[in-house]
Amino acid sequence: MDLKLKVWRQASPADQGKFVDYQVHDISPDTSFLEMFDILNDELVEKGEDPVAFDHDCREGICGMCSMFINGHPHGPEKATTTCQLHMRKFKDGDTIVVEPWRAKPFPVIKDLIVDRSAFDLIIQEGGYVSATTGGVPDANAIPINKENADLAMDAAACIGCGACVAACKNASAMLFVSAKVSQFALLPQGKVEAKERVKKMVAKMDELGFGNCTNTYACEAECPKEISITNIARMNRQFIGAKLS
Protein backbone atom coordinates (compact mmCIF):
# COMPACT_ATOMS: atom_id res chain seq x y z
CA MET A 1 0.00 0.00 0.00
CA ASP A 2 1.12 3.53 -0.75
CA LEU A 3 -0.20 6.18 1.61
CA LYS A 4 0.01 9.91 2.11
CA LEU A 5 0.31 11.06 5.72
CA LYS A 6 -0.41 14.52 7.12
CA VAL A 7 1.30 14.45 10.51
CA TRP A 8 1.37 17.11 13.21
CA ARG A 9 4.99 18.06 13.94
CA GLN A 10 5.80 20.20 16.95
CA ALA A 11 9.39 20.36 18.25
CA SER A 12 8.54 21.40 21.81
CA PRO A 13 5.59 22.55 23.99
CA ALA A 14 6.35 26.16 23.09
CA ASP A 15 6.72 25.52 19.36
CA GLN A 16 3.89 26.64 17.03
CA GLY A 17 3.76 23.29 15.25
CA LYS A 18 2.51 22.46 11.76
CA PHE A 19 1.31 19.62 9.57
CA VAL A 20 4.01 17.93 7.47
CA ASP A 21 3.20 15.66 4.51
CA TYR A 22 4.92 12.28 4.22
CA GLN A 23 4.67 9.46 1.68
CA VAL A 24 5.05 5.84 2.74
CA HIS A 25 5.41 3.08 0.13
CA ASP A 26 4.93 -0.70 -0.02
CA ILE A 27 3.21 -0.95 3.35
CA SER A 28 1.78 -4.44 4.00
CA PRO A 29 -1.96 -4.42 4.85
CA ASP A 30 -1.03 -6.54 7.90
CA THR A 31 1.20 -3.81 9.30
CA SER A 32 -0.17 -2.18 12.42
CA PHE A 33 -0.64 1.59 12.43
CA LEU A 34 2.29 2.05 14.82
CA GLU A 35 4.51 -0.27 12.75
CA MET A 36 3.72 1.91 9.75
CA PHE A 37 5.01 4.86 11.80
CA ASP A 38 8.11 2.79 12.75
CA ILE A 39 8.76 2.29 9.01
CA LEU A 40 8.30 6.01 8.36
CA ASN A 41 10.65 6.86 11.27
CA ASP A 42 13.33 4.47 9.98
CA GLU A 43 13.22 6.30 6.66
CA LEU A 44 13.37 9.70 8.41
CA VAL A 45 16.36 8.60 10.52
CA GLU A 46 18.16 7.31 7.42
CA LYS A 47 17.59 10.69 5.78
CA GLY A 48 18.98 12.37 8.89
CA GLU A 49 15.63 13.88 9.86
CA ASP A 50 13.99 13.93 13.28
CA PRO A 51 11.65 10.91 13.66
CA VAL A 52 7.98 11.50 14.58
CA ALA A 53 7.54 11.24 18.35
CA PHE A 54 4.53 9.19 19.46
CA ASP A 55 3.48 7.40 22.65
CA HIS A 56 3.35 3.60 22.75
CA ASP A 57 4.19 0.80 25.14
CA CYS A 58 2.51 -2.63 25.21
CA ARG A 59 1.16 -2.59 21.64
CA GLU A 60 -1.44 -5.09 22.85
CA GLY A 61 -4.28 -2.64 23.47
CA ILE A 62 -4.11 -2.78 27.26
CA CYS A 63 -1.67 -0.13 28.49
CA GLY A 64 -3.42 3.02 27.23
CA MET A 65 -0.25 4.72 26.04
CA CYS A 66 -0.95 5.07 22.30
CA SER A 67 -2.94 8.17 21.55
CA MET A 68 -3.15 9.29 17.94
CA PHE A 69 -6.14 11.19 16.55
CA ILE A 70 -6.44 9.52 13.15
CA ASN A 71 -8.69 10.81 10.35
CA GLY A 72 -10.98 12.58 12.78
CA HIS A 73 -11.23 9.81 15.39
CA PRO A 74 -9.18 9.09 18.52
CA HIS A 75 -7.42 5.75 17.88
CA GLY A 76 -8.70 5.87 14.29
CA PRO A 77 -12.02 4.97 12.72
CA GLU A 78 -12.14 1.33 13.88
CA LYS A 79 -14.58 0.78 16.75
CA ALA A 80 -13.33 -0.47 20.14
CA THR A 81 -9.72 -0.53 18.95
CA THR A 82 -6.61 1.22 20.22
CA THR A 83 -4.17 2.76 17.74
CA CYS A 84 -1.70 -0.09 18.31
CA GLN A 85 -4.34 -2.68 17.40
CA LEU A 86 -5.41 -0.80 14.27
CA HIS A 87 -4.11 -2.35 11.06
CA MET A 88 -3.44 -0.86 7.67
CA ARG A 89 -5.96 -3.23 6.04
CA LYS A 90 -8.61 -0.88 7.42
CA PHE A 91 -7.34 1.77 4.97
CA LYS A 92 -7.26 1.84 1.18
CA ASP A 93 -4.24 2.12 -1.09
CA GLY A 94 -3.62 5.78 -1.92
CA ASP A 95 -5.49 7.11 1.14
CA THR A 96 -4.50 10.37 2.78
CA ILE A 97 -4.39 9.93 6.54
CA VAL A 98 -4.43 12.91 8.93
CA VAL A 99 -2.70 12.22 12.26
CA GLU A 100 -2.96 14.68 15.13
CA PRO A 101 -2.26 14.66 18.87
CA TRP A 102 -5.08 14.70 21.47
CA ARG A 103 -6.32 18.27 21.73
CA ALA A 104 -7.33 19.54 25.19
CA LYS A 105 -6.09 22.30 27.45
CA PRO A 106 -5.18 19.85 30.27
CA PHE A 107 -3.27 17.65 27.75
CA PRO A 108 -0.52 19.96 26.45
CA VAL A 109 1.57 18.69 23.53
CA ILE A 110 5.08 17.69 24.60
CA LYS A 111 6.38 16.81 21.16
CA ASP A 112 4.71 15.92 17.84
CA LEU A 113 1.97 13.39 18.72
CA ILE A 114 2.87 13.02 22.41
CA VAL A 115 0.70 14.85 24.94
CA ASP A 116 1.15 15.13 28.70
CA ARG A 117 -1.63 13.11 30.32
CA SER A 118 -0.46 13.65 33.94
CA ALA A 119 -3.80 15.39 34.54
CA PHE A 120 -5.39 11.91 34.73
CA ASP A 121 -2.82 10.86 37.36
CA LEU A 122 -3.68 13.93 39.43
CA ILE A 123 -7.38 12.96 39.31
CA ILE A 124 -6.54 9.40 40.39
CA GLN A 125 -4.44 10.74 43.27
CA GLU A 126 -7.53 12.52 44.60
CA GLY A 127 -9.53 9.38 45.21
CA GLY A 128 -8.48 6.37 43.15
CA TYR A 129 -7.72 4.21 46.18
CA VAL A 130 -9.48 2.20 48.92
CA SER A 131 -8.99 1.88 52.65
CA ALA A 132 -7.35 -1.38 53.68
CA THR A 133 -6.86 -2.79 57.15
CA THR A 134 -3.34 -3.70 58.17
CA GLY A 135 -2.44 -7.19 59.23
CA GLY A 136 -2.56 -10.49 57.44
CA VAL A 137 -3.84 -10.88 53.91
CA PRO A 138 -7.64 -11.29 54.10
CA ASP A 139 -9.37 -14.19 52.41
CA ALA A 140 -10.31 -13.17 48.86
CA ASN A 141 -13.81 -14.61 49.24
CA ALA A 142 -14.55 -13.27 52.72
CA ILE A 143 -16.71 -10.41 51.40
CA PRO A 144 -19.72 -11.53 49.34
CA ILE A 145 -20.22 -9.43 46.17
CA ASN A 146 -23.14 -9.99 43.84
CA LYS A 147 -22.29 -11.02 40.31
CA GLU A 148 -23.97 -8.03 38.66
CA ASN A 149 -21.94 -5.48 40.61
CA ALA A 150 -18.74 -7.45 40.17
CA ASP A 151 -19.30 -7.42 36.40
CA LEU A 152 -20.17 -3.72 36.28
CA ALA A 153 -17.10 -2.85 38.37
CA MET A 154 -14.95 -4.96 36.07
CA ASP A 155 -16.40 -3.24 32.98
CA ALA A 156 -15.60 0.16 34.51
CA ALA A 157 -12.12 -0.98 35.49
CA ALA A 158 -11.48 -1.89 31.84
CA CYS A 159 -10.74 1.83 31.29
CA ILE A 160 -7.07 2.09 30.33
CA GLY A 161 -6.93 5.86 30.90
CA CYS A 162 -5.79 6.62 27.36
CA GLY A 163 -7.73 9.89 27.17
CA ALA A 164 -9.67 9.08 23.98
CA CYS A 165 -12.87 10.26 25.71
CA VAL A 166 -11.34 13.70 26.31
CA ALA A 167 -9.94 13.78 22.78
CA ALA A 168 -13.30 12.82 21.25
CA CYS A 169 -15.51 15.11 23.35
CA LYS A 170 -16.29 18.42 21.69
CA ASN A 171 -15.92 19.96 25.17
CA ALA A 172 -12.74 18.04 26.10
CA SER A 173 -14.62 16.67 29.10
CA ALA A 174 -13.07 13.89 31.19
CA MET A 175 -16.39 12.66 32.60
CA LEU A 176 -16.18 9.17 31.08
CA PHE A 177 -12.71 8.54 32.51
CA VAL A 178 -13.53 9.96 35.95
CA SER A 179 -16.88 8.16 36.10
CA ALA A 180 -15.23 4.82 35.22
CA LYS A 181 -12.70 5.30 38.02
CA VAL A 182 -15.43 6.37 40.47
CA SER A 183 -17.67 3.47 39.45
CA GLN A 184 -15.11 0.68 39.70
CA PHE A 185 -14.77 1.46 43.42
CA ALA A 186 -18.29 2.64 44.22
CA LEU A 187 -19.79 -0.64 43.05
CA LEU A 188 -17.73 -2.77 45.45
CA PRO A 189 -17.95 -2.95 49.26
CA GLN A 190 -14.23 -2.12 49.64
CA GLY A 191 -14.74 1.14 47.79
CA LYS A 192 -17.80 2.26 49.75
CA VAL A 193 -15.72 3.60 52.67
CA GLU A 194 -14.44 6.63 50.74
CA ALA A 195 -17.22 6.70 48.13
CA LYS A 196 -18.62 10.15 49.01
CA GLU A 197 -15.29 11.88 49.49
CA ARG A 198 -13.91 10.20 46.38
CA VAL A 199 -16.55 11.48 43.97
CA LYS A 200 -16.41 15.02 45.36
CA LYS A 201 -12.61 15.21 45.27
CA MET A 202 -12.18 13.64 41.84
CA VAL A 203 -14.82 15.88 40.26
CA ALA A 204 -13.29 18.96 41.93
CA LYS A 205 -9.85 18.05 40.59
CA MET A 206 -11.25 17.36 37.12
CA ASP A 207 -12.81 20.85 37.08
CA GLU A 208 -9.71 22.50 38.51
CA LEU A 209 -7.50 21.00 35.79
CA GLY A 210 -9.61 22.67 33.09
CA PHE A 211 -11.45 19.76 31.51
CA GLY A 212 -14.72 20.83 29.87
CA ASN A 213 -18.27 20.21 31.05
CA CYS A 214 -20.12 17.14 29.81
CA THR A 215 -23.03 18.00 27.49
CA ASN A 216 -24.15 14.41 26.99
CA THR A 217 -23.15 14.12 23.34
CA TYR A 218 -21.99 10.54 24.11
CA ALA A 219 -19.10 10.85 21.63
CA CYS A 220 -16.85 9.45 24.39
CA GLU A 221 -18.75 6.17 24.58
CA ALA A 222 -18.74 5.83 20.77
CA GLU A 223 -14.97 6.35 20.59
CA CYS A 224 -13.76 4.58 23.75
CA PRO A 225 -11.46 1.69 22.76
CA LYS A 226 -12.69 -0.20 25.83
CA GLU A 227 -16.37 0.64 25.24
CA ILE A 228 -16.86 2.20 28.67
CA SER A 229 -20.57 2.96 29.02
CA ILE A 230 -22.10 6.38 29.68
CA THR A 231 -24.15 4.69 32.42
CA ASN A 232 -20.98 5.21 34.47
CA ILE A 233 -21.40 8.98 34.02
CA ALA A 234 -25.00 8.73 35.23
CA ARG A 235 -23.80 6.66 38.20
CA MET A 236 -21.18 9.29 39.04
CA ASN A 237 -23.84 12.02 38.80
CA ARG A 238 -26.03 10.03 41.22
CA GLN A 239 -23.09 9.51 43.56
CA PHE A 240 -22.24 13.19 43.38
CA ILE A 241 -25.79 14.29 44.16
CA GLY A 242 -25.92 11.80 47.04
CA ALA A 243 -22.55 12.95 48.41
CA LYS A 244 -23.49 16.62 48.21
CA LEU A 245 -26.88 16.12 49.84
CA SER A 246 -25.60 14.10 52.78
Partner 1 sequence: MSNKSYYSSITKKIIMSLMGLFLLTFLVVHLTVNSFLLVSKDLFNEGAHFMGTNAFIQVFQWVLFAGFAIHIFYGIVLQIQNWMSRPKGYKKRAAMEQSPFSKYMIYTGLVIFIFLIMHLNNFFFVKMGWVGHMPMTPSGEEDMGALVMALFHNGYYVFIYVVLILLMGFHLDHALQSAFQTLGLNHPTYWGFIKGLSRAYAIVVALGFAIIPLFIYFFK
Which residues contact partner 1 (rule: CB under 8 A)? Answer: 6, 8, 19, 69, 71-73, 77, 98, 100, 103-106, 168, 170-173, 197, 200-201, 203-204, 206-207, 210-219, 221-223, 230-231, 233-241, 244
Q: Which of 10, 9, 58, 59 is nearest to 34 (CA)?
A: 59
What residues form DSSP beta bridges with 99? Answer: 7, 70
Judged by beta carbon, residue 71 or residue 190, the one nearer partner 1 is 71
Using CA atoms, how far apart are residues 19 and 9, in angstroms rounded to an integer? Answer: 6
Cβ at position 133, least distance to partner 1 in Å: 24
Query: For residue 26, what are the CA distances in angstroms to 23, 39, 64, 88, 206?
Result: 10, 10, 29, 11, 44
CA 93 and chain centroid, separation: 29
Using CA atoms, how far apart are residues 82 and 77, in angstroms rounded to an integer? Answer: 10
Judged by beta carbon, residue 59 or residue 200, the one nearer partner 1 is 200
Judged by beta carbon, residue 57 or residue 79, the one nearer partner 1 is 79
Helices then strands (H, E): number in the chain? 9, 7
Enumerate residues 6+ apart whose C-beta is below 8 A from 110. 12, 13, 53, 116
Cβ at position 83, least distance to partner 1 in Å: 15
Cβ at position 59, least distance to partner 1 in Å: 24
What SS3 string covers 90-101?
HCCCCCEEEEEC
Judged by beta carbon, residue 190 or residue 217, the one nearer partner 1 is 217
Residue 88 DSSP label: G
Judged by beta carbon, residue 43 or residue 221, the one nearer partner 1 is 221
Using CA atoms, how far apart are residues 112 and 65, in angstroms rounded to an integer? Answer: 15
Judged by beta carbon, residue 62 or residue 122, the one nearer partner 1 is 122
Cβ at position 47, least distance to partner 1 in Å: 25
Give the SS3 label for residue 7: strand
Judged by beta carbon, residue 191 or residue 212, the one nearer partner 1 is 212
Cβ at position 124, least distance to partner 1 in Å: 16
Cβ at position 236, least distance to partner 1 in Å: 8
Cβ at position 121, least distance to partner 1 in Å: 18
